[in-house]
Structures are given as structure tokens and as C-alpha cells.
């Protein structure tokens, strides 16, 4: 079993992305050069870093509370990720006896409640059987029609689906690889940025009316790749 700093850095980078730390993830990516890693296309499940830490805590719990002879050391204190672990003192015998006595009283009370519940169920069953016999003797011609009323969820109106006509849609063509990210400019609502696997980011000035025409985008090229693989633009944010 081996663990490399590159693997740890990649899990940290994925955690930052999944948690929404966009700026921190972008800075960490550039400082750790994780975008050059062989793990950047690895199939890693979401929450991998948290899952590994949780399993590590379970191992620490076993390591701290198993004696040399294999017996388990009693401890009610939780194992924390940060800080030393201190085991709580074992419960004294008197305290245990007190808890045991309370438990016996609870058991007796629960047994009485269970017996009362069974008696009530028996009486209810007898009453239901008597009512059923009386209903069987009724004339079937006197049975009234029953109307079924739907629940609010079933009778609620389904919202109408809004269809956008093709004339209102614009195709932005220019990237030569898959587009991974898009972001609208918060100050200029008609300015859109897109990043793709062709190592470029593009700034699009979207027309605000039918009379305007779509202009060619501004292409922001990534640094030249040191390998044959293109550099994917997967994260961006407006300054």
C-alpha cells in the first residue's frame, strides 16, 4: 500500500471543486500543477476525500481501543479528526447497577403496556367482527354509490411546458472540443465566457435584439502544452 502526494493533492483539488471553493481550487491547481497529473482523468467518486478520512477514523478507533491480548477497551469518548483522544472513565459498578435497575423497571412497564395493547386489539377485533356480520345481513340494494375524490397532488394542474422557438436560440460555434464551463458576466449580462478542452476560453457578446448580429468571440488561448495532450479549461470566474 502506497500513498503519494500527487494522489493527496488530487483528492484535495476535487474536494475544493465539490465544495464550491472556486478561487481556492483555481489557485491550488496552479500551485500544485494538478492539471498535469495523470489522475486528472481518473474515475474518482464524489466525496472521496471525506470517505477516506472517515475510514481512517474507524481504523484509529480500533487502534486506540484494542488491548494487546485482543480484548476491547471500554470507551465512550468519540475519536476526533483533530486533537488528542482521551478515553472517558469506565462506569462504576454502582452506576451500572442503577442503570440496570432502571432498565428492569422500564421492561416491566413496557410489558404491561404491551399486554394492555393486546387486550384492546382483541376487543376491537370482536367489535369489527360483529359489525361485519350486521353489514352482511343488509340488503345489497341499499348500498349507495361511492365517488372517489383525488388528492390535491393528483388533481393539481400540470404547468404548461414552455417551448423556445428555434428563432430565439443562438448557436455559438468556435470551440473544437467539448465545452466544460460557461459563466455570464455579472456586470454585463450579455457577455458570456466559455471554456473547453481545446485549451481556449472564449468571450461571446450575445445580441440583445433580433437586429443585432453575433460577432466573432475573443479567444483566450491557454499556455502551450508541454505534452501532446490539450489542456482542458474546466474552471473560470469573473474578476
CATH number of the domain bearing residue 26: 1.20.960.30
Over 60: is that where the pLDDT of 228 sits? Answer: no
Which pLDDT belongs to residue 84?
81
Task: Based on the fold, state whether residues 97 and 48 are members of the same structural domain.
Answer: no
Number of structural domains (the chain) is 3
CA 89 to CA 185: how far, in whole Å? 59
44 vs 128 pLDDT, higher one: 44
CA 198 to CA 115: how far, in whole Å? 74
Which pLDDT belongs to residue 234?
84
Which pLDDT belongs to residue 218?
92
205: buried, middle or exposed (CB in 10 Å: 19+, 13-18, 0-12)?
middle
Task: Based on the fold, state whether residues 57 and 99 are members of the same structural domain.
Answer: no
Query: Nearest 5°: CA angle at 61, between 56 and 63?
Result: 95
**76-80: average pLDDT:** 78
Residue 160 placed within a domain: no
Q: Which of 128, 125, 207 is nearest to 172 (CA)?
A: 207
**Parent domain of 34:** 5-64
Question: What DSSP designation does 141 have?
Answer: G
Q: Which of 108, 112, 219 is nearest to 174 (CA)?
A: 219
Dihedral in degrees, nearest 10, Cα atoms 187, 188, 191, 193: 0
Residue 54 placed within a domain: yes
- The structure's pTM equals 0.37
Which pLDDT belongs to residue 4?
86
Residue 11 placed within a domain: yes
**170-183: average pLDDT:** 89
CA 29 to CA 35: how far, in whole Å? 6
Over 90: is that where the pLDDT of 121 sits? Answer: no
Residue 161 placed within a domain: no
Q: How far apart are the first and last CA of the chain?
A: 43
Among candidate residues 48, 64, 80, the one where a domain is terminated: 64
Which pLDDT belongs to residue 81?
78
- Helix H segments across the chain? 5-18, 22-32, 48-64, 93-136, 152-155
**82-94: average pLDDT:** 65
CA 33 to CA 9: how far, in whole Å? 9
Task: Based on the fold, state whether residues 57 and 20 are members of the same structural domain.
Answer: yes
Residue 143 placed within a domain: no
To the nearest whole percent, how much of the chain has pLDDT over 90?
A: 8
Over 90: is that where the pLDDT of 236 sits? Answer: no
CA 90 centroid distance within chain: 38
Residue 156 placed within a domain: no
219 vs 65 pLDDT, higher one: 219
Q: What residues does 72 pair with on adjacent strands?
A: 66
Over 90: is that where the pLDDT of 194 sits? Answer: yes
Distances (CA, A) of 180 to 22, 23, 52, 189, 236: 15, 17, 28, 20, 10
**30-49: average pLDDT:** 82
Which pLDDT belongs to residue 152?
52
1 vs 153 pLDDT, higher one: 1
pLDDT 10s digits, 139-176? 544 544 444 455 555 555 667 788 888 878 888 999 98
Residue 147 placed within a domain: no
Rg over alpha carbons for the chain, rounded to the nearest Å, is 34
CA 137 to CA 182: how far, in whole Å? 73
Which pLDDT belongs to residue 83?
80
Residue 158 placed within a domain: no
CA 85 to CA 80: how far, in whole Å? 7
Amino acid at each position: 500500500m502506497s500513498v503519494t502526494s500527487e494522489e493527496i493533492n488530487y483528492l484535495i483539488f476535487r474536494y475544493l471543486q465539490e465544495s464550491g471553493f472556486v478561487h481556492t481550487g483555481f489557485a491550488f491547481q496552479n500551485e500544485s500543477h494538478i492539471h498535469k497529473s495523470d489522475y486528472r482523468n481518473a474515475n474518482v467518486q464524489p466525496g472521496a476525500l471525506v470517505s477516506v478520512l472517515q475510514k481512517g477514523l474507524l481504523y484509529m478507533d480500533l487502534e486506540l481501543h484494542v488491548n494487546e491480548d485482543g480484548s476491547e477497551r471500554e470507551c465512550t469518548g468519540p475519536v476526533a479528526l483533530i486533537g488528542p483522544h482521551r478515553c472517558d472513565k469506565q462506569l462504576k459498578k454502582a452506576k451500572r447497577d442503577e442503570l440496570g435497575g432502571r432498565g428492569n423497571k422500564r421492561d416491566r412497564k413496557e410489558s404491561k403496556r404491551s399486554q394492555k395493547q393486546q387486550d384492546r386489539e382483541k376487543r376491537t377485533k370482536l367489535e369489527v367482527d360483529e359489525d361485519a356480520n350486521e353489514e352482511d345481513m343488509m340488503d345489497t340494494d341499499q348500498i349507495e354509490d361511492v365517488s372517489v375524490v383525488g388528492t390535491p397532488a393528483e388533481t393539481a394542474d400540470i404547468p404548461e411546458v414552455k417551448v423556445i422557438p428555434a428563432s430565439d436560440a443562438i448557436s455559438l460555434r468556435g470551440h473544437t472540443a467539448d465545452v466544460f464551463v460557461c459563466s455570464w458576466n455579472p456586470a454585463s449580462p450579455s457577455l458570456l465566457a466559455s471554456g473547453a478542452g481545446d485549451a481556449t476560453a472564449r468571450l461571446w457578446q450575445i445580441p440583445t435584439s433580433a437586429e443585432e448580429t453575433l460577432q466573432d468571440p475573443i479567444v483566450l488561448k491557454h499556455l502551450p502544452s508541454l505534452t501532446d495532450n490539450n489542456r482542458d479549461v474546466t474552471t473560470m470566474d469573473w474578476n
